[in-house]
Structure 1
């Protein structure tokens, strides 16, 4: 049942009837700024709380996020200063326009509390993702960094420091698997930092400086810089590959470095990049996101290049890379290599040409059915980027498994249970999914060409942009599934196929 939730932090009974305008328990207004009603609390902390709300002035009352921020000032002058600072910082956030950052729809002050109204994102945060499906490996971490660094680069180009990057503030959007960066610390940190500087820390009962374990020393000292976000991103990487908060790791007493590297499934080269992101001294840390992106692009090949840059190319020298095997000078040059600069450039080009094959090599590790089931029974649920072609998983209970970008051609899932599984971008061509439970399963951008889905239950499944050419949907249940008419026309359906509207009027598609 939908309720009206009182946003007064001191209210003893915040749940109210959805039609009330004042709280039964404390008398506070339930309609904020004459248009927003909170209906559910998402979380709270020292600086405020976050709610799901509805906009009462728009047809259909669309959902939104209501963020309540409470300044920690104790006197009237400090409160007035906080209000001015809040409005200034909110205007800055209002100028941000990026598809992977929630839009700021409104902001206002009500009863000395600040409110930000933002777009609601449908997705799961990465903290929950790791707890549900396990820690990241090399490919998953690289994919994460490839997706998140352009967002951070954009923010910094707009002169905005996020100040609270952590797994709980990064959502994986359900509709397209894109990462979304939420919950900026910029407003609350700027307000409290300025208050502390203006009135002294005695004017504050508490102030926010980010999240312990993710905030670097300079941010804890209320002097954040752009590379503070890079530190927090590095700390996030540590969580993703270990499942542990950075604050739970020991510190090297001599160097101050975080001792997180043991038992992680990533290369030493990528480990070095993360270590540099986590440098306590800002002089040793990447100063810009561009520097970080460059390091991520080149780091698997730095060693081989440095070893060969001064060699005389009189013969076909071999360059050994730990991930790529042998790269010969013949890949980079013709018979005339008279200048070291030219040779080096061509050698680097050859290595870069092979770079694109590196991910395919890692992902081409062949799983057999026994190996897969052993891993699954030991708690592994994330099989992203894996070669799982031809596996026989008849009748398997594989609910909520993740197969993003995996190769599943010809796999057999007959009568298996794959409810809420994730096949984003996976290749399921010629797979056998007859009579399989696929309720709420995610097939966006997957390839289901020639797949057999006869009698499968695809209720509320997401088939957005999936390739259904010659897919057998005879007798399948597609009620409430996200699939369009053009996709269905490319597939095989019959009188027993239940369409998304719940009907069996398949002939009307033609």
Structure 2
């Protein structure tokens, strides 16, 4: 049942009837700024709270995110300063226009509290993703950096420092698998930094300065710079690889370096890049996102990516987003382009050498049925980018496994439990998934040509932009699945196929 949630942090019983305008318990207004009603709390901390809300002035009462911020000011002068700073910073955020950053829809002050209204993004944050699906491998971390750095570059071009980059503040949007950067510390930290200077408070006793473990020394001292976000991004990589917050690792007393390398299986090149992101001294750290993006194109990265493509290309090859290409092209000089062309020949020779190197063996795993099932039994869930062609995984217990961009041609998944499995961008052509449990499975942009889903449970599965040419859905349950009529016309169906609306009206397609 939808409720009306009181946003007063001191309210003892915040849940109210959805039609009320005043809280039954404390008497606070339930309608914020004459248009927004909170309906569920998402989380809270020392500086405020976050709610799911509805906009009552728009037809259909669309959902939104309500962020409540409470300035750390005790007197009228401090509060007035905070309000002025809040409005200035909120206006800055309001100018941000990027498809992977939630839009700021509104902002206002009410009862000595500040509110930001943002669009709601449906997705899971990376902290939760790692906890439920396991840590990232090297290719997954590289793809993460390829996806997130252009967002950060845009943000810095708008003269905005995020100030709170961490796994919990990066969502993987459900509809398209793209990363979305949320929950800016820019407003709350900028307001509190200025208040600290104005009111004489010490940085570490009263004011929010980001998240421990991800915030670099200069940010803890309330002097954040653009590379502070790069440090936090490096800490995020450490979490994705190890499943542990950077604050839980020891520090080398002589160098100040984070000792996170033990028991991780990634190349020396990627380790070197992350270490430079995490440099305590700003002079040793990447100063700009451009520098970081350039480092991510060093030969060992390019070789690994070229090897993946040179085997047998999947239907969704690894490419940069269009705005990434424009950014790189716009900053490339003629000499850089010349160096890139001359490096191509060297790259081809290096690829041949690397194929027999120890580092290559660590990143390119030769999977067999036994090694795959052993990995699953040991808790591994993420098999992104792997070559699993032709494996017999019949009756496997593989629910929630991740097969993003996998080569799965001809694999046998018959009668397997693959509920909530993620096949985004994978190649499942000619695969056997008959009688498998694939409820809530994700097949967006997946190649399913000639795949066999006979008798499979595909309830609530997502086939957005999937290729289902000649796919066998005879006897399959597609109830509530996201698949359109045009797609179904290219697939095989029969009188026993259950369609998304729950019917068996197969003759409509002839």
Common fold: TM-score over 0.5:
yes
2:346 paired residue number: 351
Matches within 5 A, 1:119-268: 119-201=119-201, 206-268=206-268
Where 2:296 maps in the other structure, the secondary structure is helix
The structure with the largest alpha-carbon Rg is 1
1:277 paired residue number: 277
Where 2:145 maps in the other structure, the secondary structure is helix
Mark the runs of 5 or more structure 2 residues left unpaired by the alignment: 308-335
Distance 1:404 1:14, change over 3 A: same
The question of whether the paired residues in 2 share the 8 Å contact of 1:195 and 1:203 is answered with: no
Where 1:41 maps in the other structure, the secondary structure is strand
Q: Does residue 409 in structure 1 map to residue 423 in structure 2?
A: no
Matches within 5 A, 1:412-431: 412-431=412-431
Structure 1 CA distance, aligned partners of 2:503 and 2:60? 26
The question of whether the paired residues in 1 share the 8 Å contact of 2:431 and 2:451 is answered with: yes
Mark the runs of 5 or more structure 1 residues left unpaired by the alignment: 303-320, 326-340
Q: Deviation per CA, 1:257-296, whole angstroms, max 9, x where unpaired?
A: 1111111111111111111111111111111000000011
The question of whether the paired residues in 2 share the 8 Å contact of 1:166 and 1:235 is answered with: yes
Q: Deviation per CA, 1:417-470, whole angstroms, max 9, x where unpaired?
A: 111110001111011111111111100000110000111111111100000000
1:306 paired residue number: none
Structure 2 CA distance, aligned partners of 1:356 and 1:292? 23
1:336 paired residue number: none
Structure 1 CA distance, aligned partners of 2:496 and 2:349? 49
Distance 1:192 1:421, change over 3 A: same
Shift of residue 181, structure 1, vs aligned partner: 0.4
The question of whether the paired residues in 1 share the 8 Å contact of 2:203 and 2:221 is answered with: no
Structure 2 CA distance, aligned partners of 1:281 and 1:160? 21
Shift of residue 113, structure 1, vs aligned partner: 0.6
Q: Does residue 379 in structure 1 map to residue 379 in structure 2?
A: yes
TM-score, normalised on structure 1? Answer: 0.89
Distance 1:507 1:139, change over 3 A: same
Q: Does residue 103 in structure 1 map to residue 103 in structure 2?
A: yes
Shift of residue 210, structure 1, vs aligned partner: 0.5
The question of whether the paired residues in 2 share the 8 Å contact of 1:72 and 1:207 is answered with: yes
Structure 2 CA distance, aligned partners of 1:471 and 1:130? 32
Q: Deviation per CA, 1:38-57, whole angstroms, max 9, x where unpaired?
A: 11111111100001111112
TM-score, normalised on structure 2? Answer: 0.89
Q: Deviation per CA, 1:137-166, whole angstroms, max 9, x where unpaired?
A: 110110000000000000000000000000
The question of whether the paired residues in 1 share the 8 Å contact of 2:203 and 2:222 is answered with: no
2:87 paired residue number: 87
Matches within 5 A, 1:276-425: 276-298=276-298, 300=300, 347-352=342-347, 365-425=365-425
Aligned residues: 476
Structure 2 CA distance, aligned partners of 1:346 and 1:63? 49
Structure 1 CA distance, aligned partners of 2:228 and 2:33? 35
The question of whether the paired residues in 2 share the 8 Å contact of 1:78 and 1:203 is answered with: no
Distance 1:402 1:204, change over 3 A: closer
